[in-house]
Amino acid sequence: MARKLFGTDGVRGRANSYPMTADLILKLGAAAGKYFRRDGSSEHRVVIGKDTRRSGYMMENALTAGLTSSGMNVLLLGPVPTPAVGFLTRSMRADLGIMISASHNPHHDNGIKFFGPDGFKLSDEAEAEIEGLVAGDLTPAQPQNIGRARRIDDARGRYVEYAKTTFPHRSGLNGLKVVIDCANGAAYRAAPEILWELGAEVIALGVEPNGFNINEGCGSTDPAAAGEAVRAHGADIGLCLDGDADRLIVLDETGTPADGDQLMALFASRWAEEGRLNGRTLVTTVMSNLGLERYLQDQTINLHRTAVGDRYVVEEMRARGFNLGGEQSGHIVMTDFATTGDGLIAGLQILAEMARTEKPASALVNNFEPVPQLLKNVRYDKGQAPLATGSVKSAIAEAEGRLNGSGRLLIRTSGTEPLVRVMAECEDPELLAEVVDSVVAAVKTAV
């Protein structure tokens, strides 16, 4: 069946507007409970984590009501990173994990991400079945089978201790000065704790969440403040997470940012040298830069592209036995360590490489010259289908003709926001701008 609730990363929208309303979220919790409690026993459990948005309280309570009404026992983790939910779902033998977060979106948005008992995000098929249950009649559990709910006080501590075990260098981070920007989000306590306990001198930003300042002028989507802090404090590196800490943007010692493509280039080349890169293959999305592809080709490393969304990267990795993948936006997936993108664990691997090689960050995270790339977004009203109009199709065809094999064009609707994303790559910056602007203009006219 076609999915209406679920996008590329769970269910997402503006808080207190459809589908992020308390009544719909309660039904979603009840549907998920029914899906994962098929044998009718009372031993099923679900873990729920969240980021720091004010609306998280409402959604946590609504989900708890729906899940317990279906007979599920609920374990409330409080504010923890998304990858911590994946880890704790498996570690605590839960049948289901839920993260309440809209990731890098502003505070007025929120979302729900589902994890299966193996700690991996649900498949499209599972999400479609849950969505079908939401649309149908949900029979609640009998009174004697209603589930219980309780808080897990040491959830963050469990994740902190696990994340530290992924850092391989014996000397720890002694002598390194690290700026960590937590985006006033889910990792505002865990990330500085981990870095300090490993020995780093820590300058922490974005660690004063108030329910409304998540991702606001900070974090991976706005690393300017972290760049200033790196320069002001003479730090060795800056690590910028997003609101749920599954993304990472790195700043070198000059405050210059490096995106996920540069980080994946580092990991792929190092792992290939060490014989750790399964299939000598990196999995990434269609958004990754052509410069990354050429860099990997020179090292006889394969690049396998998927649709946009870290869950599709992970699905391909699992299907074909690969252990490294990610997205240009900063999701870095290392299935040797985690079931989903983990910005902090990725940061620890970079810090370990700095400690091992005694090289500055700039020597490690600038591996290739990107092909000029331009991305512009056009917002549209829900219910519109701008890419289906004849004028937009014609503009796309004309733009592709102008590129004529000298670059590539990618136009898609976002799976998390009502946006049309127009991206192109081309060695000629002037032609690049003209091509993108022509398609953007056509889309704007259509909407």
Least confident of 145-149, 167-171, 235-239, 352-356: 167-171
> Does the residue 369 lie in any domain?
no
Find the CATH number of the domain harbouring 378.
Answer: 3.30.310.50
Whether residues 150 and 10 share a domain: the answer is: yes
- The C-alpha angle with vertex 271 and arms to 266 and 273, in degrees rounded to 5, equals 100
pTM (2 d.p.): 0.91
> Does the residue 1 lie in any domain?
no
Closest among 47, 94, 118, 104 to 246, alpha carbons compared: 104
Residues 9, 415 contacting (CB under 8 angstroms): yes
Whether residues 10 and 144 share a domain: the answer is: yes
- The parent domain of residue 105 ranges over 6-155
Bridge partners (DSSP) of residue 49 are 78, 99
Q: Left (φ > 0), alpha (ψ -120 to 50) or beta: where does 399 sit?
A: alpha
pLDDT more than 90, % of the chain:
88
Q: pLDDT at residue 194 above 90?
A: yes
Confidence label for 192 from pLDDT (cuts 50, 70 and 90): very high
Whether residues 181 and 234 share a domain: the answer is: yes
Whether residues 177 and 124 share a domain: the answer is: no
> Does the residue 329 lie in any domain?
yes
Final residue before a domain boundary, out of 343, 364, 385: 364
Indicate the number of domains in the chain. 4
Active site members: 103
> Does the residue 419 lie in any domain?
yes
Q: Average model confidence (pLDDT) for the chain?
A: 94
Final residue before a domain boundary, out of 201, 233, 254: 254
pLDDT for the residue numbered 249: 98
pLDDT more than 70, % of the chain:
98
Residues 200, 173 contacting (CB under 8 angstroms): yes
> Does the residue 160 lie in any domain?
no
CA 425 to chain CA centroid, Å, is 23
Least confident of 168-172, 286-290, 339-343: 168-172
Whether residues 80 and 22 share a domain: the answer is: yes
> Does the residue 273 lie in any domain?
yes
Whether residues 219 and 350 share a domain: the answer is: no
φ, ψ of residue 247 in degrees (nearest 5): -120, 155
Whether residues 150 and 18 share a domain: the answer is: yes
Hey, what are 125's tokens?
A: 């098929």
pLDDT for the residue numbered 1: 47
Final residue before a domain boundary, out of 337, 364, 391: 364
Q: pLDDT at residue 2 above 50?
A: yes
Whether residues 264 and 247 share a domain: the answer is: no
Whether residues 44 and 135 share a domain: the answer is: yes
> Does the residue 291 lie in any domain?
yes
Average pLDDT of the residues in 298-312: 94
Whether residues 14 and 129 share a domain: the answer is: yes
Closest among 236, 232, 220 to 178, alpha carbons compared: 236
Cα–Cα distances (Å) from 225 to 221, 232, 233, in that order, read 11, 10, 12
Whether residues 222 and 269 share a domain: the answer is: no
Find the CATH number of the domain harbouring 335.
Answer: 3.40.120.10
> Does the residue 32 lie in any domain?
yes
Whether residues 191 and 279 share a domain: the answer is: no
